[in-house]
Amino acid sequence: MNSNSIEVLELTTPVFQFLDRMIQEHGVYLYLICVWLSPLLILWILQGGFWRKPAPPPRIFNVTKSEPPPLPPPLAPPVISQRKGTDHDESSFAA
């Protein structure tokens, strides 16, 4: 840091002269830009622009394709036995 204040002022003088010239030449346009952008800034602040927590980083999921389970063995056809000549079924419900 420079401890001599005169040298510091000499270094900053061109910057302030540039700002003064810009305001003199384009002050109206700078004002209009500030007026039109102020509602957006107010909305951003009211939505928590300063206090909002940053979004967490996206999580990466490793998706592995698994094989389907094996098919069960085929079912055997049912065995149906038919007895001819016996009337046991009809006599059991006789009234």
Mind listing the pLDDT tens digit for each residue in 36-88? 999 999 998 888 887 777 788 888 888 888 888 888 888 888 887 776 655 55
In the numeric block, which tokens belong to residue 75?
Answer: 């079912």
Hunting for tokens 């389970």 — which residue is that? 69
Q: In the prediction, which pLDDT does 37 show?
A: 95
More reliable by pLDDT, 28 or 12:
28
Q: What is the reported pTM? A: 0.40
Hunting for tokens 């389907």 — which residue is that? 68
DSSP strands (E only) in the chain = none
